[in-house]
Amino acid sequence: MFDRRALQTVLALVTGLAGILVVSSAIAASAAQRTDTSENAPRIIIDTDLSLWWDDATAVGMANVLEQRGKIRILGVMSDVRNPLAVAAIDAIDTAYGHPHLPLGAVTNSNADTAPHGYTNVLVAKLPHSISSSAHVASAVTLYRHLLAVQRDHSVTIVAIGAYTNLAGLLRSNPGQGSSLDGRALVAAKVKRLVIEDGLFPNGAPPLTNQKLDLTSAREVVSGTNWPTPIAWVDGFTGINTKVGGLLCTTVAPNNPMRIVYEAEFGCGPPGDGDWDGPTLLYAVGGIQGLFSELGQGGAAYVNAQGGLSWRADPERPHDIYIHVADQAALNQRIDLLIAAK
């Protein structure tokens, strides 16, 4: 009998009707595991550059904990960096939290292997997983199309905490692969909101990491009304003082995936970097929760003269906002509790 991982391997090798059947089977296998999740729970797709940066791991880990508790529904996780082991590391995290069947997608040309591996190799070496590389999963755009096609209209939140490559590819995609709609129309029909971690608003900054990973795609997604749903930007100011994980080495087991990543990044010393992506995940699935403030109403992000992002009034995008921290201590505590849970 084929399991979901074997089926996704087939997907990577075929197209057309066979590909549609394969992804449909993967989605059904994932859904069968989670019959206790509330119908009203936020449905999310995570698009991550998990490979080198600590905060991507915290976002994926927290999402898994919230999935365990029936608070959210993870439809799939997309890797957007060209590290072929990134999907194996994501699979290792998901499996550690009891979710070995979450659909995973890989960025186009992932086998180019041009992204630094960071802690991905450590996770793959230390934790069980059944995906060995990006050759064994669907392309991210293909998986996006199949996942979105079967969802209720305006029901999906995309949590983008990495490069814009997959998002731009989805916008450009043609009808087929699960839907008769082209990419932009599919997004407009099925996505409720895009929540992105990027920028320093309102004044702006030069290109930051997520833009630098793929500047062309970043410009495509940010340009005017090209992205057809509201966007919430959880910018870098939410991450600078979000220093978390310092107690993991003394409070959780050595095989906890968050501890493994923390030790690989910082040893067992103080947090060596702020957490930008964890707050993005929390806002995306829970709103302000007393932790955040919603700002910039009536405006939108735009590509500034430096090639980075700034904020300006924009009547064509009346529903976009940017997010800042309202209660830093409570935010840090919330993340620490979730990444220590298993």
Q: Model confidence at 36, in pLDDT bands (50, 70, 90)? A: low
CB-based contact 256:266 (threshold 8 Å): no
pLDDT of residue 29: 55
Q: pLDDT above 90 covers what percent of the chain?
A: 88
pLDDT of residue 329: 98
Mean pLDDT of 63-80: 98
DSSP-derived pairing of the beta strands 321-325 and 292-295: antiparallel
Helix axes 4-11, 16-32, angle to 10 degrees: 160
**Which of 70, 237, 231 has its CA nearest to residue 157?**
231
Q: pLDDT above 70 covers what percent of the chain?
A: 89
Interatomic CA distance for residues 128 and 143, integer angstroms: 23
**Which of 3, 55, 60, 52 has its CA nearest to residue 26?**
3
CB-based contact 198:309 (threshold 8 Å): yes
Q: Tell me the three state secondary structure of residue 240.
A: coil
pLDDT of residue 142: 98
Q: Model confidence at 327, in pLDDT bands (50, 70, 90)? A: very high
Q: pLDDT tens for residues 246-287?
A: 999 999 999 999 999 999 999 999 999 999 999 999 999 999
pLDDT of residue 39: 81
Q: Model confidence at 117, in pLDDT bands (50, 70, 90)? A: very high
Cα–Cα distances in angstroms (integers) from residue 151 to residues 67, 77, 231, 294, in the given order: 18, 16, 19, 27
Interatomic CA distance for residues 177 and 307, integer angstroms: 34
Mean pLDDT of 149-166: 98
Residues linked to residue 299 through DSSP beta bridges, in sequence order:
313
**Burial of residue 287, with CB atoms counted within 10 A of its CB: 0-12 exposed, 13-18 middle, 19 or more buried:** middle
31 pLDDT exceeds 90?
A: no
CB-based contact 289:335 (threshold 8 Å): no
Q: Model confidence at 34, in pLDDT bands (50, 70, 90)? A: low
CB-based contact 77:90 (threshold 8 Å): yes
pLDDT of residue 162: 98
In the chain, the domains with their CATH numbers are 4-339 (3.90.245.10)
pTM (2 d.p.):
0.92
Interatomic CA distance for residues 284 and 100, integer angstroms: 23
94 pLDDT exceeds 50?
A: yes
CB-based contact 106:87 (threshold 8 Å): yes
Torsion of CA 256, 259, 261, 263, to 10 degrees: -140
Q: pLDDT tens for residues 211-229?
A: 999 999 999 999 999 999 9
9 pLDDT exceeds 60?
A: no
Q: Tell me the three state secondary structure of residue 245.
A: coil
Structure tokens, 17: 């009707």
- The more confidently predicted of residues 323 and 26 is 323
Mean pLDDT score of the chain: 92
Quote the DSSP letter at residue 318.
Answer: T
**Which of 158, 144, 325, 292 has its CA nearest to residue 231?**
158
* Alpha-carbon 302 to chain mean position: 22
Mean pLDDT of 282-303: 97
